[in-house]
Amino acid sequence: IAKGLDFPRVTLVGVLNADLGLNIPDPRAAERTFQLLTQVAGRAGRGEKEGRAVIQTYTPDNEVIQAAAEQDYERFYESELRIRRLRCDPPFADLFTVTVTGSDESEVRRAAKELQQSIHYAAQRPPYDGLNLTVLGPAPAAVVKVNDRYRYRVTVVGKNEKRLRGLLSHMMKAFSRRSENRRMQVYVDCNLMDER
């Protein structure tokens, strides 16, 4: 339904737990929820008959839910831009997610903590001190264990530029050279769009 299919005789569309998507740890959660709700609501009443959409939510006063219910794109856009600017989310900054994976959770936590401390320390010294980085974490991934491997993440907030990419590349190489990390892997994503 959300993909734009046309059912001319559909006059009523219901959305259950419409606010569920707002509670995931993703900077684009509000955008995805708004898109889904406006698209689904647009499925009703596409033929000659008038349509109606019923949205069930635990947070009816939520600005995203309100804007979607009213099909008010401008309101959502202005609100979302204001919030993203305050949180330093894209497009105002880039979010680098550094993920450490391994089969021993305590080792993965230790390695992620050391990596976070190393990035934080380097970010306060030349040549990286002018980047104005924020280093968050470590924290478990939303789905912490996949295929018997634990995943912990460090988030680095800054602008996607050569010096920052160089810093992260250097940190990943240093991580891989340490013997205590040989059974773990580390990778970096920029502005991660979905949970992996």
Residue 131 CA from chain centroid, whole number = 22
- CA nearest 32: which of 21, 40, 43? 21
Q: What is the pLDDT of residue 7?
A: 66
Cα angle 142, 147, 151 (rounded to 5 degrees) comes to 40
**Least confidently predicted of 113-117, 169-173, 191-195:** 191-195
What per-residue confidence (pLDDT) applies to 92? 92
Q: Is the pTM of this model over 0.85?
A: no
For the residues 47-69, what does the mean pLDDT come to?
87
Q: Could you tell me if 56 and 16 are in contact, meaning their C-beta atoms sit under 8 angstroms apart?
A: yes
List, in order, residues 6 or more apart from 31 with CB less than 8 Å away. Answer: 80
The whole-number pLDDT of residue 51 equals: 78
What is the average per-residue pLDDT within 128-138?
Answer: 93
Give the pLDDT of residue 14: 83
Name the average pLDDT for the chain.
Answer: 89
Please state the rounded mean pLDDT for residues 168-176.
95
What the block records as the tokens of 115 is 């990596």
- 50 or 98, greater pLDDT: 98
What pLDDT is stored for residue 1 in this prediction?
45
Q: In the predicted model, what is the mean pLDDT of residues 151-180?
A: 95
CB atoms within 10 A of CB 138: 22
CA–CA gap between residue 38 and residue 75 (Å, rounded): 13
